[in-house]
Structure 1
């Protein structure tokens, strides 16, 4: 807490660090801070940096755990619990993992949805589609209620006609996107939902509303994404990830697509950014959809931009001395 009583960390930041802090607490036990020596940090690194299959946390998980330990010990320094300059985790001997480069393919999309319906979990298929369309975090999406689906004021006539439903209204998902950094203000998002996807959202709300009203006690607020394995109640994040992994496992089992084992929710946000960029959408427009900062968008595109086939094709086409003839042009020349 700050001197004014305001939390120093955003709730999402707290959730990010909580698992690592819990592991560190189990590791250190009731020992005083002096127990954490450079030698013990090295021993911890060797134990957790092993592959997950061998009982470790893997490179990324181990790096996050040790980075959290470094932050904890830096706090101990700042509070004079340990001497200044004595942080044993300052250099823990494990470099940052490489940037994650996984994106979803259309085949992954189809396999996931088929697995979700096969398991009787249509909400998970809708969650994937909404995630890819809106590029939002799972914490925001599982909190999507009927009250957040509102009519948007779109003044450009052409845009409004493209996005309007049969009733002529443009409906969208409105919510405050909470930032993990205390330096950034929460962003108010208003994301229009295109008509075909809106039909699915409304159908889900009708199903969920009927289930909610029949529940005992009655549930008066309906959510778009619910847990069909648990009487259609709203998800918390831990339960949502369990269902997500269940669908991924089923998709791998039924399709043989072993590569899907590496897919996580956050990859959908990155996939949306990459697919939009391949449509030559400006970075500023992409950021207005996702809520990312321009710096974050640029960081993603720095990884994918150089190998983007659309950009590569445009570069090759512009390098040709004579534009390649098209079949249509050939036919017109013959008929002349």
Structure 2
């Protein structure tokens, strides 16, 4: 019986004679397993390697990073989050893999970590903040489990500050996208503008989430500290323009005698989207449409703005988008409605109607 061994790292190599072989390691960076995969000897070598690893004292941060990657806190993250973590963790480990755990309690250590963040920040403040947040999260996890005695990275503040006040899709941007972007992306824009949901939730949205009146979905994005997912269930009434588009598409499948696909949004070839595939295609479509400086995520704030201008209250907006009340208020106060003339005009119109009564 073949046993699936967790964490085995595979590396493919092309030999001088052109033949390709695969080397197997007990884990990424671990010892190589010489036996044939699937054999009893292979399993014995794997178990022996991990036994040695467990007995080895945790003396440097490299061991902490490895323990975190093997924990449920890491493996339970969304696939994209794990991918992002792994990419940045390589840079963190290069810098601090040999850092002694015993030095974490030294007060000078925090300064050393912050100096590293500042160096990374000279190239990208957002990257620096993200890597530092990952390091802080891992050390917090390790502290809770007694692997380290201090976390000198907690509450560091942020280098990157951005209100994105001007990053709102205007009517002209929407019109340009519908006129010039590929037709198979039109429904994605309409879904985003009438639900206020994130890209990942919309490209994974199944037809079963739509019942003709409502879209029901469970959001799968962090709402607190980095990497900590707290899924939230939202029920969104479907506005007439979106309902007409969905009903027409659904009727088209029925007329053609075709079963509904797994997801509502599909690629040009009729396949479900991958996150990276959609992101790249969306970026090219925006460039073709002349929509510059705006991302798909900006549509989420745009919906908050439009709902507020239409007269929706903060609780009503939060019910639709899934934001907390505090987040909606922050968006309206500092991010998207900073002295927005449309909001001012709507307010004056309301006052005019009131004074005519």
TM-score by length of 2: 0.63
Once the two structures are superposed, residues 224-272 of structure 1 have per-residue CA deviations (whole angstroms, 9 ceiling, x without a partner) of 21011xx2110121211111112122223xxxx5xx1x21121111101
1:20 positional shift: 3.8
1:298 positional shift: 0.9
Counterpart residue number, 1:134: 195
Residue 211 and residue 240 in structure 1: after superposition, are their counterparts in 2 closer, same or farther (change >3 A)? farther
1:313 positional shift: 3.9
SS at match of 2:162: coil
Counterpart residue number, 1:108: 173
Q: Distance in 2 between matches of 1:212 and 1:265?
A: 33
Q: Distance in 1 between matches of 2:301 and 2:75?
A: 23
Relative contact order, higher structure (CA 8 A, sep 6+): 1
- Matched residue pairs, number? 272
Counterpart residue number, 1:243: 281
Counterpart residue number, 1:334: none
Contact 1:131 1:269 in 2 (8 A): yes
Q: How does 1:58-207 map to 2 (within 5 A)?
A: 58-84=124-150, 87=152, 89-90=153-154, 95-101=159-165, 102-117=167-182, 122-151=183-212, 171-178=213-220, 180-181=222-223, 186-205=231-250
1:23 positional shift: 1.6
Q: Distance in 1 between matches of 2:116 and 2:299?
A: 33
Q: Structure 1: where are the runs of 5+ without partners?
A: 1-5, 51-55, 152-170, 214-218, 325-336
Counterpart residue number, 1:165: none
SS at match of 1:233: coil
SS at match of 1:227: coil
2:28 aligned with 1:28: no
Q: Structure 2: where are the runs of 5+ without partners?
A: 1-70
Q: Distance in 2 between matches of 1:199 and 1:64?
A: 41
2:340 aligned with 1:308: yes
Bigger CA drift: 181-190 or 286-295?
181-190
Counterpart residue number, 1:275: 306
Q: Distance in 2 between matches of 1:222 and 1:34?
A: 49
Residue 203 and residue 95 in structure 1: after superposition, are their counterparts in 2 closer, same or farther (change >3 A)? same
1:139 positional shift: 1.7
Residue 296 and residue 43 in structure 1: after superposition, are their counterparts in 2 closer, same or farther (change >3 A)? closer
Contact 2:222 2:230 in 1 (8 A): no
Residue 292 and residue 195 in structure 1: after superposition, are their counterparts in 2 closer, same or farther (change >3 A)? same
Equivalent in 314, 317, 340 of residue 286 of structure 1: 317
Contact 2:253 2:260 in 1 (8 A): no
Counterpart residue number, 2:56: none
Q: RMSD between aligned alpha carbons?
A: 3.8
Once the two structures are superposed, residues 264-295 of structure 1 have per-residue CA deviations (whole angstroms, 9 ceiling, x without a partner) of 12111110111111122111211222122211
Contact 1:172 1:190 in 2 (8 A): yes
Once the two structures are superposed, residues 43-74 of structure 1 have per-residue CA deviations (whole angstroms, 9 ceiling, x without a partner) of 64345323xxxxx3x32232122222222233
Relative to total residues, which structure has the larger helix share, 1 or 2? 1
TM-score by length of 1: 0.66
Q: Distance in 2 between matches of 1:8 and 1:195?
A: 42
1:76 positional shift: 3.4
2:48 aligned with 1:48: no
Q: Distance in 1 between matches of 2:229 and 2:200?
A: 18
1:28 positional shift: 1.6
Once the two structures are superposed, residues 167-225 of structure 1 have per-residue CA deviations (whole angstroms, 9 ceiling, x without a partner) of xxxx3322233453589974443323233322322343456679995xxxxx8634221
Contact 2:318 2:325 in 1 (8 A): yes
Contact 1:13 1:181 in 2 (8 A): no
